[in-house]
Amino acid sequence: MPEDTALRRTPLHDRHVGAGARMVDFAGWSMPVSYEGLISEHLAVRSAAGVFDVSHMGQLLVEGDPALAYLQQMLSNDLGRISAGHAQYTLLPDDNGCPVDDLIAYRMSDTRLLLVVNASRVGDDHEWLAQRVPAGVSVTDCSDRYAMLALQGPRALGLVALPDLTPFGFTEAEVCGVQCIVARTGYTGEPGVELMCGPDDAGSLWDALLEAGAVPCGLGARDTLRLEVCYPLYGNDLSRERTALEAGLGWVCALDAKDFTGAAALREQKARGGYDRLVAFRMDGRGIPRQGMPIEPAGEVTSGTMSPSLKIGIGMGYVPPASAEPGTPIQIDVRGTPHPAMVARKPLYVKEHTP
């Protein structure tokens, strides 16, 4: 079947197609879902090193003398806890405390911050921020300036020459002859870096990482990897319908340190209690959970898959507080047949470390 030419393409599109990747529509982008196979790609990241094309992600540049103070009002986490050269996972909340998006904020300086946002939310995030921008601050969608690769896995940091960074640290450096923003961030639960470079340089960087031994990985493995460690996905686990507290992201909401959009609503909800919770669960026996499946006695699956690492069905979903405690038995309605499952602690996958 011919590929939809209306979809946007990353600078690496031709390489994906040439490598025989299965391409899918993701947030309006033509993206590789797998190359050799989801399971082998997933396990390569858990055991060695894989590389993902994540150039569909968006970048918003916030600049101006009041830029830091402005984002302190707009974002849920406390940027005052990090210094220049460090990044922070945070939410862009609405007045009800529901995420407009979840993102990573890069503090380049007090007057210049870069937001890396979800591909499906670039336009909404830009509009939300631009409508509330004060005098002296600009918000620029600079997504077209960057390609972005994610090198992830226990061998990722030793695969090629990289700057020595602590988790969530970032710097500008040359990697395989390409000038990049190098950040110790990722979406897999493994060590690694995310590399932002100019679109014209993405091909040579991709080729060099593959030559060094990284396995090319698609969005299918990225999804199973993030679900095993219970990282939420916007549009599945996060939305404007659920608050940050319901999503289990109160830890990125600096309710005791500052005021921000939605903080009052979140403080009120926290004091009131009794709200649904996003829980992780493991299937007990057969059955693969999928988004939208009912949870009994009450709730709904938001993300579900067969875990390549654990070799069981796993997922996340919203349930009432009475069903939210780890160890609570639940049932997942898999196409009309109830299958037993158990609410579990997050993350679902924890790597065994040998001495």
- Per-residue confidence (pLDDT) for residue 352, from 0 to 100: 72
Percent of the chain with pLDDT over 90: 96
- Answer yes or no: do 62 and 100 share one domain: yes
Q: What is the pLDDT of residues 213-225, one digit of tens each?
A: 999 999 999 999 9
139 within some domain? yes
- Answer yes or no: do 93 and 128 share one domain: yes
CB-based contact 103:117 (threshold 8 Å): yes
Across the range 251-276, mean pLDDT stands at 98
Percent of the chain with pLDDT over 70: 98
- Residue 133 token pair: 């921008």
- Answer yes or no: do 70 and 135 share one domain: yes
Alpha carbons 44 and 225: distance in angstroms, whole number? 11
- Answer yes or no: do 162 and 213 share one domain: yes
- Answer yes or no: do 165 and 101 share one domain: no
Look up the domain containing 323 and give its range.
276-348
- Provide the mean pLDDT of the chain: 97
257 within some domain? no
Per-residue confidence band for 355, with pLDDT thresholds at 50, 70 and 90: very low
185 within some domain? yes
197 within some domain? yes
- Inform me whether the pLDDT recorded for 2 exceeds 60: no
Number of domains, the chain: 3
